[in-house]
Structure 1
Amino acid sequence: MSPTDILLVVAAGLGAGVLSSTVGVASLLSFPILVGLGLPPVVANVSNTLGLIPAGLGGVAGYRQEVREAGRLAWVIALVCAIGAVLGAALLLGLPPGVFEAVVPFLILFTCLLVGVQPRVARWLRARHERRHGEQLSERRSMSPLTTFFATVTGVYGGYFGAGAGVMMVAVLGLGTDLELRIVNGLKTLSLMVGNIVAGLIFVFVAEPRWDVVGLLAAGSMIGGYLGAVIGRRLPDGVFRWSVVAAGVVAAILLF
C-alpha cells in the first residue's frame, strides 16, 4: 500500500470507530473504502470485522457505566450476539456472495421506522395494557423471549455483514425494553463488539484476512470507538434517536 492508502485506512478505522459507538453503522464507512482499495469483497469484509474489534473495546470502555447499569441484561446480550455471530460467520463463508443484497436495505429501512416510532408505540402499548388490566405495566429491565429472538437474529446479521446492525439492535432493545437510550446505546456497542470478536476468531482460522489492513484499521478504530462513546453519552435522546434513523436511511440508500 502507498502512504496515502495507509492514511486512508487509518482514517477509515477512526471514523468507523466513532460511528460504531454512536449510530452503529461503522461498516458503512470502512467496508466501501477497503473494496475501493482493491480488496475482494469477502476479504474486505473479513479484514473489516477484525479491524473493528478494537473499536468495540474502546466503545465499551467508554460506555462502562451504562453496561454496568444494565446488569444481567448485558451478559444476555453478549451471549445471544455471540451465538448469532457464529451463525452469521458461517453464512458469510458458506453462501454465495450477495445472497441477502436484495433484502438488507429494506430490513434496515424497516428498523429505522421502528427506531423513529418507538416512543409512540411504547406509550400506546403501555396505555392499552393499563386499560385492559387496570394496572400499570412494570418497567421492563429484561428481555422477553421474543425480544431475545430478535436480538439473536440481529447478531446473525452482524456476523454475516453488519452494516446497520447497530441500528437494528437499537430498534430491538428500544421496543423490547424500557431502558434509557444511553444504556441502549451502550448495549448496542457491546453487541457489536461481541459479534466482531466471535466472527473475527472464526475468520482467523478459516478465512484469509489482509493483516496489514487489519492492523491499520485497528489502530484508528480503537481511538474512534472511545471518542464515539464520549460523544454518544452526551447526545440528548431525541438527537441520538434521529441520528440513528438518518444513519440507517443513508446505509439503506447506499446498499440499494
Structure 2
Amino acid sequence: MSLLETAAILLAGVAAGSINAVVGSGTLITFPTLLAFGVPPVTANVSNNVGLFPGSLSAAWGYRRELAGQRRRVLRLGVASLLGGTVGAVLLLVLPEDAFATIVPVLVLLGVVLVVVQPAVSRRVAARRASRGPGAAARDGAAWVWPAVLATGVYGGYFGAAQGVLLMGVLGIGVEEGLQRLNAVKNVLAGTVNGVAAVVFVAVADVDWRIVAVIAVGAVVGGQLGAHLGRRLPPLLLRAVIVAVGTTAFVVLVLG
C-alpha cells in the first residue's frame, strides 16, 4: 500500500470505529474505501471484519459503565450472536464469490435505508414504550428477541453493515431498558459477531494483514472517540456521511 492509501484506510478505520460505537454502520465507511483502492470484494470484507474487531472491543470498554448489571442479558444474547456470526461467516466462505458480489449491493443499500429510517424508528420505539408503560417488555427481552439477535448475527457474520442499527431496533423494541444501556449491549453483541467471524476468516480465508493492521489501529482509536464523544456529535452529520458513502458504494458496485 502507498502512503496515501494507508492514510485513507487509517482515517476510514477511525471513522468506522467511532460510528460503530455510537450508531453502527461503520462498514459503510471502510468497505467502500477498500473497494476504491482495488481490493477484491471478499478479501475486502474479510480483512475489514478482522480489522474492525479490536474497535468493537474498544467501544465495549468505553461503554463499560452502561454495562453494569447487565451480565445475564449479555451472556444470554451473546450466545445468539456467537452462533449467528459463525453461520454468517461460513456462508460467506461457502457461497460462490459471484453470490457475494450480487448480494453485497443489496446489503449496502439496505444498510443505507436503515441508517436513514433509524431516527423515525427510534422515535416510534420510545413512543410505543411510553404508551405501554413500565413492564411492557421483559427485562431480559421478549421471547422473539433471542432468535432476532441470532438472525442479526448471521447478517453480521456475512457482511455486517448496519448490524448495529438492526440490533438497536431489536433491543429497543423487545427489551425494557434505557437506550444508552442497550447501546452498550449492542456493542458487545456486535463485537461477538465480529470476533467469531474473525476467527473463522483467519483460519481459512484470504486475509490481507496489512489492511487489518491499519484498520485495527484506526478502529481502536475511533472506538474510544465514539464512546466518549459520540453522544455530543451531531447525529445528522454522521448519518449524512454514512448515507453519502453507502450510496456511492452501491453505485460503484452496481456499475462496476
**Under a length normalisation based on structure 2, what TM-score does the superposition of the two structures give?**
0.84
Q: CA deviation at 1:11?
A: 1.3
The alpha carbon displacement at 1:122 in A equals 5.7
SS at match of 2:55: helix
Deviations 1:60-94 (CA, angstroms, capped at 9, x unpaired):
11001112232311112322111110010011111
Contact 1:85 1:156 in 2 (8 A): yes
CA contact (8 A) 1:115 1:174 kept: no
C-alpha RMSD over aligned residues? 2.7
**Cα pair 2:125 2:172 within 8 Å, conserved:** no
Q: CA deviation at 1:119?
A: 4.4
Deviation at 1:117, TM superposition (A): 3.5
Give the whole-Å Cα distance in 2 for the aligned partners of 1:228 and 1:84: 26
The corresponding residue for 2:103 is 100
Matching residue of 2:223: 225
- Flag the 1:244–1:217 CA change in 2: closer, same or farther, 3 A: closer
CA shift, 1:113, in A, is: 4.1
Task: Tell me if the contact between 2:28 and 2:242 (Cα under 8 Å) persists in the aligned partners.
Answer: no
1:185 paired with 2:188, answer no
- Whether the aligned pair in 2 keeps the contact of 1:69 and 1:183 (CA below 8 Å) is no
Determine if contact 1:16/1:25 at 8 Å carries over to the other structure. Answer: yes
Contact 1:14/1:223, CA 8 A, preserved across alignment: yes
User: Compared with structure 1, are the counterparts of its residues 167 and 202 closer, same or farther at alpha carbon in structure 2 (3 Å cutoff)?
Assistant: same
5 Å matches for 1:233-248?
A: 234-235=231-232
Distance 2:186 2:85 in 1: 14
Query: Structure 2 regions of 5+ residues with no counterpart?
Result: 252-256
| Residues 105-184 of structure 1: pairs in structure 2 closer than 5 A | 105-106=109-110, 109=113, 113=117, 116-121=120-125, 123-124=127-128, 127=131, 137-138=135-136, 140-184=138-182
Query: Is the CA contact (8 Å cut-off) linking 1:55 and 1:222 kept in structure 2?
Result: yes
Match of 2:254 in 1: none
Query: How many aligned residue pairs are there?
Result: 246
Where 2:207 maps in the other structure, the secondary structure is coil
8 A Cα contact 2:135 2:176, kept in partner: no
State the AA in 1 paired with 2:103.
Answer: F
Give a deviation string over 1:127-181, Cα, whole Å, max 9, x none: 5x68xxxxx6455321222111111111111000001111101101011112111
**SS at structure 1 position matched to 2:46:** helix
Structure 1 residues without counterparts, runs of 5 or longer? 131-135
TM normalised by structure 1 equals 0.84
Q: Which residue of structure 2 aligns with residue 64 of structure 1?
A: 64
Q: Percent identity?
A: 33
**Deviations for 1:33-74, whole angstroms, at most 9, x for unmatched residues?**
111111100000000001001101110110011122323111
Q: Do the aligned residues in 2 keep the contact of 1:59 with 1:228 (CA within 8 Å)?
A: yes
Alpha-carbon distance between aligned partners in 2 of 1:141 and 1:154, rounded to the nearest angstrom: 20
2:29 is matched with which residue?
A: 29
Map 1:197-236 → 2, pairs under 5 A: 197-232=195-230, 234-235=231-232
Name the CA distance, whole Å, in 2 between partners of 1:142 and 1:244.
Answer: 31
Query: Aligned partners of 1:139 and 1:169: how far apart in 2?
Result: 16
**Secondary structure of 1:179's aligned partner:** coil
Contact kept? 1:52, 1:217, Cα under 8 Å:
yes
Which residue is 1:79 aligned to?
79
Could you tell me which amino acid in structure 2 is paired with residue 40 of structure 1?
Answer: P
1:182-206 Cα offsets, whole Å, 9 max, x none, are: 1111111112211111000000111
Partner Cα separation in structure 2 for residue 77 and residue 248 of structure 1: 27
